[in-house]
Amino acid sequence: MSSIAPFHGRVGAPPQPVLPVAPAAPAGPAAAPLPTAAAAPKGRVEVWDMTSGIEQPVTGAALLASRDKAITTAAKHAAKVDDFLRTQFGRDGWDGKGSPMRIVVHAPNEDGTPNMNNAYWDNLTKRIYLGDGDGELFGPLGGALDVLVHEATHAIVDSEVNLRYEGQQGGINESWADVLASLADKRDWRIGEDVFTPGTPGDAIRDLENPRFGHVDQLPEGAVIEPHDYSGIPSLAAVRVADKLGKDEMGRIWYSALVDHLDSRAGYAGAARATLDAAAQLHGAESDAVSVIVDAWKSVGVDPRWKPAG
Ligand SMILES: [Ca+2]
Ligand SMILES: [Ca+2]
Ligand SMILES: [Zn+2]
């Protein structure tokens, strides 16, 4: 399970699908009269409502008629993610095979209590679970487009590369999720600012320009580091590449690195090599892009020539 925020004080297995559910009817124009054409999500989305504790499908007609803002906003954003993957990367759905975005709104905590302060991708159900937040730490998490892209990127990672969710691999997983999210919402490098601490303006879950750890030398030796904290190092390299090549071009290279070049055993150095291989393929081995990327990784203490230990 790959989430947007670290889970605090959680033990044991991640939330599992509660009960088998019937597949939802595809969202979008349905038998019911459409309020307006603009209200129909363009991208492919399937929605479940977990208010009752069970994943209940929301039909296209029910979605169009819904006055539940957490549901309608999450569905609108999920549709935008589907569009974004197609227009930004030419990707046909999160799995590259045309599958719709599948979201579960009002998802509870693992113990069944409501107002989960998190969102996560579950690779077993292939759905994104969106908590309502407690209103203090988070508002409903589907209210942020970048949170949806973050979780969709975990879906892409799981369908393309079998990364472990720990250590540097966990950091790579989280970093790619944040970096691709930063492309959907190009205003800045902050993640989740639209839903994080509704009572406090100007903050965010993470700021890729100002990560907790922005250089390998800052990592405390011997400590177990949480994947979201590990992610800051590759994310800062991506920021510095974007400073030179532009955000869209960085994104093109980073996406290609993920789907075409990243090795399932990669640590930071392997991730760096994947971006170099992608840049070399797109721009040539002697291109400026390649030297910009080498410099960016070195600035965070990662030498792409490192070989994995053992
Ligand atoms: Ca953002
Ligand atoms: Ca806030
Ligand atoms: Zn995540």
68-115 pLDDT tens trace: 999 999 999 999 999 999 999 999 999 999 999 999 999 999 999 999
pLDDT of 27 above 50: no
**Which H/E stretch holds residue 191?**
strand 190-191
| Among 77, 150, 228, 283, the one annotated catalytic | 228
Q: How confident is the model at residue 309 (pLDDT cuts 50, 70, 90)?
A: low
- Name the residues around ion ligand 1, CB cutoff 5 A: 146, 185, 190
Secondary structure class of 44 (helix, strand, coil): coil
* Known active-site residue 228: yes
pLDDT at residue 46, rounded to an integer: 97
Residue 286 Rama label (left phi>0; alpha psi -120 to 50; beta): alpha
Report which bound ligand comes closest to the CA of 4.
3
* Known active-site residue 209: no
pLDDT at residue 6, rounded to an integer: 78
DSSP bridge partners of 48? 57, 104
pLDDT at residue 308, rounded to an integer: 55
**Percentage of the residues of the chain whose pLDDT score is greater than 70:** 87
| Among 151, 154, 174, 283, the one annotated catalytic | 151
Q: How confident is the model at residue 12 (pLDDT cuts 50, 70, 90)?
A: very low
Residues 6+ apart with CB under 8 A from 172: 163, 231, 234, 262, 266, 267, 268, 271
Pairing of the two strands 119-122 and 2-3: antiparallel
C-alpha 187 to ligand 1 mean position (Å): 7
C-alpha 271 to ligand 1 mean position (Å): 23
pLDDT of 170 above 90: yes
DSSP state, residue 208: T
C-alpha 186 to ligand 1 mean position (Å): 7
Q: How confident is the model at residue 248 (pLDDT cuts 50, 70, 90)?
A: very high
37-71 pLDDT tens trace: 444 456 799 999 999 999 999 999 999 999 999 99
Q: What domains are defined for the chain?
A: 2-160 (3.10.170.10), 175-299 (1.10.390.10)
Q: How confident is the model at residue 15 (pLDDT cuts 50, 70, 90)?
A: very low
275-295 pLDDT tens trace: 999 999 999 999 999 999 999
Report which bound ligand comes closest to the CA of 151.
3
pTM: 0.88
* Other beta carbons within 10 Å of 69: 11
pLDDT of 307 above 70: no
178-219 pLDDT tens trace: 999 999 988 899 999 999 999 999 999 999 999 999 999 999
The two tokens of residue 205 are 């879950």
118-140 pLDDT tens trace: 999 999 999 999 999 999 999 99
